[in-house]
Amino acid sequence: MTFTGSGDGQSGSMRAHFVLVPMLAQGHTIPITDMARLLAEHGAHVSFITTPVNASRLAGFAADVEASGLEVRLMELHFPSAEFGLPDGCENLDMIQSTDLLPNFMYAIAMLQEPLKAYLHEQQCSPPSCIISDLIHWWTGDIARELGIPRLTFSGFCGFSSLIRYITFHNNVFENVKDENELITIRRFPTPLELTKAKCPGNLSIPGMEQIRKKFLEEELRSDGQVINSFQELETLYIESFEQTTKKKVWAIGPMCLCHQDNNTMAARGNKTSMGEAQYLQWLDSMKPGSVVFVSFGSLACTTPQQLVELRLGLEASRKPFIWVIEAGAKLPEVKEWLADEFEERVKNRGMVIRGWAPQLMILRHQAVGGFVTHCGRNSTIEGICAGVPMITWPHFGEQFWNQKLVVDVLKIRVEVGVKGVTQWGSEKQEVMVTITRDEVEKAVNTLMDEGGGCRRDEVRAKDCAIKARKAFDEGGPSHDNIRLLIQETGNKTNACG
Ligand code: UDP
């Protein structure tokens, strides 16, 4: 067990104690680390539930909250990998070798239920007052009911995508749809919307996942509300409609990534970075403001080998400065061959290739960055919005296509690269057709980055979104107020030892 923060919860007589239970995947865990920091900064005590391997990845976060005197306790529970046929130490989604093992992984996580219950029963001086659980952890519902405390869910989605998820899943919109590419009109959505089954989450066709999905969606109906990483002004219509549809309180407390004020804490977010932050900063500082395009497909990206080659050639042809994160998610040995050294040699004055984990938030916020080629992950989308940069949207699978719709149709701060098909998670080694050619990449990058390239209005809108995000998050803004109210309304419980 690791303890961080300044106290053990015995100090206040009315101390809110939030129990945060993230999904063990970087895209789910990272926003929860931001949430932990925010709740603690607002005076709450936080138990952050994790496992040994994941805790070691959270070392930077743990050190930061400790240095800041925040009451965040990282609670490590044993992860039963072997019992579920997983290799020893396979405790994070990005360590699974095959998507067929996803149900094993989910059931192994569910085994945290008993040890978590035992830990929470022990907290007599600081009894838990609210559980905020990843939506996917159906098993936290029983714990909350046993303890008689509220359970809020967090999926990481914005209001727009949360509403689509809720309507489509709970109304079985795609149940009898045979043609995965048929456009289906989504009724009860506040603005016109057509979707295909293929471009929706929960379409992985992995045996055993359907039952798990049912479990957590049924449990969602019993939750006491939802926390979302968004802010009111960005998508008022959708957040309000989400609240009306679910008939449950929606707490929009984002963009949570704005809790980071300095480069150190931004660089400590997620995995260990492949270079020291000074090296990135030195390179970025040498570039003209707004001149660099940042290319990253998140932590689980499944870009096909052929597609990576086209992306490389397109970036090279565009002649624009770039930072390209190539191996954060794509664990492809062949990448070495395609990224032949001459490429990096040829672009060395204007291109940086990052093999491994990049300090994405820090890079995005640097003034040299003027555009973001993104897979439209739930976090990357909101991080791009906060950075005030227009985006080239390149979704791969699942709700990334919905986030693209928010960026393209609602916010209008984008160039679509024109993805037609789905590149499903875990399918990167399959022989599939290249979907985006080098010419399309070059054209999109030039449209986004060229002065007079047609994106100036997008850029103005992007900057406007970033200003609104900051206002919502800072003191006096609705997200700031919502955190305070969240603590007041769900968090306080009398301290038995106070
Ligand atoms: N991220 C990062 N460095 C990387 C890759 C990803 O810091 O090299 C962070 C990124 O800033 C975001 C998260 O990892 O917070 C990825 O989440 P997202 O929802 O965008 O995508 P996912 O990885 O879940 O597909």
Query: Cα 376 to chain center, whole Å?
Result: 10
| Judgement on whether residues 464 and 480 belong to the same structural domain of the protein | no
Assess if residue 231 is contained within a domain.
Answer: yes
| Judgement on whether residues 111 and 233 belong to the same structural domain of the protein | yes
| Judgement on whether residues 429 and 450 belong to the same structural domain of the protein | yes
Assess if residue 32 is contained within a domain.
Answer: yes
Domain of 486: which CATH number? 3.40.50.2000
| Judgement on whether residues 327 and 452 belong to the same structural domain of the protein | yes
Cis geometry, peptide bond prior to residue 192 (ω within 30 degrees of 0): no
* ipTM entry: 0.99
For ligand 1, whether the C-beta of 380 sits within 6 Å is yes
What is the residue type of 412?
Answer: K
Indicate the number of domains in the chain.
2
Assess if residue 44 is contained within a domain.
Answer: yes
| Judgement on whether residues 463 and 479 belong to the same structural domain of the protein | no
Q: What is the pLDDT of residue 10?
A: 39
| Judgement on whether residues 397 and 312 belong to the same structural domain of the protein | yes
- Please say whether the beta carbons of 338 and 305 come within 8 A: yes
- Crossing angle (nearest 10°) for helices 478-486 and 26-41: 80
Q: Ligand 1: which residue has its CA nearest to atom 15?
A: 379
Assess if residue 365 is contained within a domain.
Answer: yes
For ligand 1, whether the C-beta of 298 sits within 6 Å is yes
Distance 147 CA to ligand 1 centre (A): 34
Question: Which residues, at least 6 apart from 279, have a Cβ–Cβ distance to it below 8 Å?
Answer: none
Catalytic amino acids? 28, 134
φ, ψ (nearest 5 deg) of residue 218: -65, -40
φ, ψ (nearest 5 deg) of residue 290: 70, 10
Assess if residue 1 is contained within a domain.
Answer: no
Q: CB neighbours (10 Å) of residue 431?
A: 7
Atom of ligand 1 nearest to the CA of 360: 7
Assess if residue 182 is contained within a domain.
Answer: no
| Judgement on whether residues 80 and 39 belong to the same structural domain of the protein | yes
Buried b (16+ CB within 10 A) or exposed e, 226-242: bbbbbbbbbbeebbebb
Has this prediction a pTM greater than 0.90?
A: yes
Assess if residue 190 is contained within a domain.
Answer: no
| Judgement on whether residues 32 and 136 belong to the same structural domain of the protein | yes
Of the CA atoms within 13 Å of residue 411, those in its CB half-sphere come to: 38
Please state, in angstroms and rounded to a whole number, the distance separating the CA atoms of residues 69 and 243.
35
Please state, in angstroms and rounded to a whole number, the distance separating the CA atoms of residues 374 and 401.
11
| Judgement on whether residues 306 and 374 belong to the same structural domain of the protein | yes
Q: What is the pLDDT of residue 225?
A: 97
| Judgement on whether residues 440 and 460 belong to the same structural domain of the protein | yes
Distance 354 CA to ligand 1 centre (A): 14
Query: Domain of 386?
Result: 262-469
For ligand 1, whether the C-beta of 27 sits within 6 Å is yes
Please state, in angstroms and rounded to a whole number, the distance separating the CA atoms of residues 131 and 162.
19
* Best mutation site among 29, 30, 256, 375 for ligand 1 pocket (most ligand atoms within 8 Å of CB): 30
Assess if residue 191 is contained within a domain.
Answer: no
Atom of ligand 1 nearest to the CA of 328: 8
* Best mutation site among 23, 360, 361, 404 for ligand 1 pocket (most ligand atoms within 8 Å of CB): 360
For ligand 1, whether the C-beta of 268 sits within 6 Å is no
498 residues of the chain, pLDDT tens digit each: 333 333 333 344 568 999 999 999 999 999 999 999 999 999 999 999 999 999 999 999 999 999 999 999 999 999 999 999 999 999 999 999 888 899 999 999 999 999 999 999 999 889 999 999 999 999 999 999 999 999 999 999 999 999 999 999 999 999 889 998 999 999 999 999 999 998 888 766 788 888 999 999 999 999 999 999 999 999 999 999 999 999 999 999 999 999 998 998 999 899 888 888 899 999 999 999 999 999 999 988 677 778 888 999 999 999 999 999 987 555 556 666 666 668 888 898 999 998 889 999 999 999 999 999 999 999 999 999 999 999 999 998 889 999 999 999 999 887 777 777 777 666 554 555 567 999 999 999 999 998 666 667 888 899 999 999 999 999 999 999 999 999 999 866 555 564
Distance 176 CA to ligand 1 centre (A): 33
| Judgement on whether residues 358 and 252 belong to the same structural domain of the protein | no
For ligand 1, whether the C-beta of 351 sits within 6 Å is no
- Crossing angle (nearest 10°) for helices 26-41 and 378-387: 50
| Judgement on whether residues 481 and 449 belong to the same structural domain of the protein | no
